[in-house]
Amino acid sequence: MKFSLAEWGNQLHSGERTYAIVPKRRMWLTISALALLACVVVLFVRGLNFGVDFTGGNVYQVSNTANPDPAIAEEVIAQFAPEQEARISILGDDDIRVQIGVVDVSVSRQIEEGLAEGYGVDQDSVSSDQIGPTFGAEVGKKAIQSLVVFLVLVALVMTVYFRAWRMAIAGIVALIHDLVFTVGIYALIGFEVTPASVIGFLTILGYSLYDTVVVFDKVRENTENVTSQHRYTYDELANLALNQTLVRSINTSIVALLPVAAILFIGAFVLGAGTLKDISLALFVGMAVGTYSSIFVATPLEVTLRDREERIATHTKEVLDMRASGKSDVVVNEDGQVRVGALQPGGHRGQGAQPKRKGRK
């Protein structure tokens, strides 16, 4: 049978098909915790590969050269800054990028002139980036400041909005999970960390929560009147919300990732290294992780926390007791699982469905 996302969505909505994410939350949370631990270990063992913006140094970029030969750049560096080891790369078709350590301003100018002369271009075609060794630390410090302020504010906003601080906690844990995971992947693969990547990491903040808020909003809607019914437990309704928003999560993630992927492609393969590539790479990884966490971390954690609330614990017990005594009118699937789904109200079937008068054709 042809797979249709719409039909899959229907089945998830009605509860005909369910993925037991909340019931198996112990497993998912353990997996996530282990992955997180691995990330932290990798982070400490391998460390991050900080770019020139964090270590300090000079980067030159010559655009539109007629002959992108790295040897010319090597010669120029050997002439003006012989103690420096040059990292030279070719970007696109005709751009040359040269990276060296910290040199004096006057030396830097000589190198610029030398490169312009060597490649036979106007000096205006040479871009240079001179970074002091403290700049990266400064960016990093501000980033961490922003992070802390943001977390506090978001915790307040979410607590007010959802009227449940446990939801805020779960959302923020998911957020931290996304950040650590993304940074861990950076450490593992050895992607270069630049201020632009830091922008990317910080943007994950907003996006990861966006996703989480969408799922939580559905959880809240489904469980709004949870204690006034005794058909389903809080856990089951939360799991239903998760399944019902699955299509939405997938769609929003794909749509958000598409433009990021476009920038990543252009940034990495056409422009070479630079702001665009660094931002989009961090975002690409972060958004993918964010989608995972909004499903497999945020909601399971939220349910774990909410189950500690006395009101919900009592309610869960009552529902299960009723089920055991057979007073509950829940539909039980063949595999013995209770089928949880959106309830369908009875509908009008039209005049045609009414009984016909006898003797009338």
Q: What residues between 92 and 151 interact with other proteins by CB under 8 A?
A: 95, 105-106, 109, 112, 123-132, 134-135, 138-139, 142-143, 145-146, 149-150
User: What three-state secondary structure class fits 96?
Assistant: strand
Residue whose token pair is 């010669």: 75
- Residues 264 and 157 sit within 8 Å (Cβ to Cβ): no
| 237 Cβ contact list (under 8 Å, min separation 6) | 219, 222, 223, 226, 340
Binds other proteins by CB under 8 A, chosen from 23, 40, 63, 188: 63
Binds other proteins by CB under 8 A, chosen from 30, 49, 64, 337: 64
CB of 280 to other proteins, least distance (A): 7
- Residue among 163 and 311 whose Cβ is closer to other proteins: 163
Q: Is 13 in the site for other proteins (CB under 8 A)?
A: yes
# binding residues, other proteins (CB under 8 A): 111
CB of 138 to other proteins, least distance (A): 6
Q: Is 332 in the site for other proteins (CB under 8 A)?
A: yes
End-to-end CA distance of the chain: 42
Q: Is 202 in the site for other proteins (CB under 8 A)?
A: yes
CB of 70 to other proteins, least distance (A): 18
CB of 282 to other proteins, least distance (A): 11
Q: Is 50 in the site for other proteins (CB under 8 A)?
A: no
- Residue among 34 and 342 whose Cβ is closer to other proteins: 342
CA–CA separation, 77 and 99 (whole Å): 10
- Residue among 5 and 27 whose Cβ is closer to other proteins: 5
Q: Is 352 in the site for other proteins (CB under 8 A)?
A: yes
Helix (H) or strand (E) holding 126, with range, is strand 126-131
Q: Residue type for 113, please?
A: E
Binds other proteins by CB under 8 A, chosen from 69, 74, 75, 217: 217
CA–CA separation, 171 and 149 (whole Å): 16
CB of 26 to other proteins, least distance (A): 28
CB of 113 to other proteins, least distance (A): 10
Q: Is 169 in the site for other proteins (CB under 8 A)?
A: no
- Residue among 148 and 313 whose Cβ is closer to other proteins: 148
Q: Is 15 in the site for other proteins (CB under 8 A)?
A: yes
CA–CA separation, 231 and 327 (whole Å): 10
- Residue among 90 and 199 whose Cβ is closer to other proteins: 199
CA–CA separation, 4 and 186 (whole Å): 35
CA–CA separation, 77 and 98 (whole Å): 9
Q: Is 228 in the site for other proteins (CB under 8 A)?
A: no
Strand partners, 99: 59, 87
Q: Is 221 in the site for other proteins (CB under 8 A)?
A: yes
CA–CA separation, 198 and 173 (whole Å): 20
Q: Among residue numbers 279 through 298, which ones bind other proteins (CB under 8 A)?
A: 279-280, 283
| DSSP codes joined into one string, 276-337 | HHHHHHHHHHHHHHHHHHIIIIIHHHHHHHHTTSHHHHHHHHHHHHHHHTT-----B-TTSP
User: What three-state secondary structure class fits 97?
Assistant: strand
Binds other proteins by CB under 8 A, chosen from 48, 261, 288, 305: 261
- Residue among 42 and 182 whose Cβ is closer to other proteins: 182
Binds other proteins by CB under 8 A, chosen from 18, 51, 53, 184: 53
| 206 Cβ contact list (under 8 Å, min separation 6) | none
